[in-house]
């Protein structure tokens, strides 16, 4: 119904074509927000340190705690800003997996 009304306004020249296009096709998608982040580390050369660190990350970490530390520390990075990082961390169903020769890191938002 919204499309017909918008097209009628364009036809009667009450609305420009650009404005009608913005109304019809630029719908912003609201991302679902996450509440917890699950972190898993495995250091290949240090199994004892991996075990100790896994005890601290057995339970998921609240997102508010992560956002607090990100806001306190400013990133001087060309690739990602603090605002983008907070948006990435607070979005649901984000899965980051890093596998290097020294460590294996898995971050999952719940």
Tens digits of per-residue pLDDT, 72-88? 887 777 788 888 888 88
Angle between helices 82-90 and 63-72 (to 10 degrees): 180
Mean pLDDT within 2-23:
91
Q: How many helices (H) and strands (E) does the chain have?
A: 5, 4
Per-residue DSSP letter, 33: B
What is the spatial distance between Cα 16 and Cα 95, in angstroms, rounded to a whole number? Answer: 42
User: Residue 53, exposed/middle/buried by CB under 10 A (0-12, 13-18, 19+)?
Assistant: middle
- Does pLDDT of 1 surpass 70? no
pTM for this entry: 0.66
């Amino acid at each position: 119904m919204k499309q017909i009304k918008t097209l009628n306004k364009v036809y009667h020249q009450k609305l420009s074509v650009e404005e009608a296009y913005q109304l019809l096709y630029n719908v912003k998608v609201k991302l679902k927000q996450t509440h917890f982040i699950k972190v898993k580390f495995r250091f290949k050369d240090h199994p004892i340190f991996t075990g100790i660190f896994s005890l601290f990350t057995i339970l998921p970490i609240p997102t508010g705690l992560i956002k607090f530390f990100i806001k306190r520390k400013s990133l001087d990075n060309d690739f990602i800003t603090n605002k983008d990082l907070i948006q990435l961390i607070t979005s649901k169903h984000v899965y980051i997996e890093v596998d290097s020769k020294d460590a294996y890191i898995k971050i999952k938002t719940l």
